[in-house]
A = this chain, B = another copy of it.
């Protein structure tokens, strides 16, 4: 896994790292189930601080790309095959269109979805994985 970082860039380091990892995931260089190096190790390789890598990991975790857990490390999430349902993807496309129309940012949209999801489902079925 080869990640290149430019300390002189205006783009924050944690964003650069996250973007590199996203690309590695998209290109298949990182595949589902693959374990990423411990943040401490990657930090030494990239010559950045531990927190900078942890922040990048956390970012991708919030995007649903990585599973990051204490003591265990960081693993690439396996994609579910459920998303190919045509009605679902149509609903997604429609939502994105509406979101763009009202100028929602990605973060705002994610928050909206998260809240709505929890509100609709209720908290009784979340016991599996929470905290």
The chain A residues found within 8 Å of chain B, CB to CB, are 62-65, 77, 79-80, 82-85, 87-88, 91-114, 116-118, 120-121, 123, 128
Contact = CB atoms under 8 A, between A and B. Distances in A.
Q: Is chain A's binding surface mostly helix, strand, loop or mixed? A: helix
A78 to B, nearest CB: 10
Given A88-B102, A104-B88, A107-B64, A83 B112 contact: yes
29 contacts: A62-B110, A63-B108, A63-B110, A63-B114, A64-B111, A77-B111, A79-B111, A80-B104, A80-B105, A83-B104, A83-B108, A83-B112, A85-B98, A87-B98, A88-B101, A88-B104, A91-B95, A92-B95, A92-B113, A94-B95, A95-B95, A96-B113, A100-B120, A106-B117, A106-B118, A106-B121, A109-B113, A110-B110, A113-B113
Given A64-B108, A84-B112, A94-B95, 9 more contacts: A62-B108, A64-B110, A82-B108, A91-B99, A92-B116, A96-B113, A100-B120, A110-B113, A110-B114
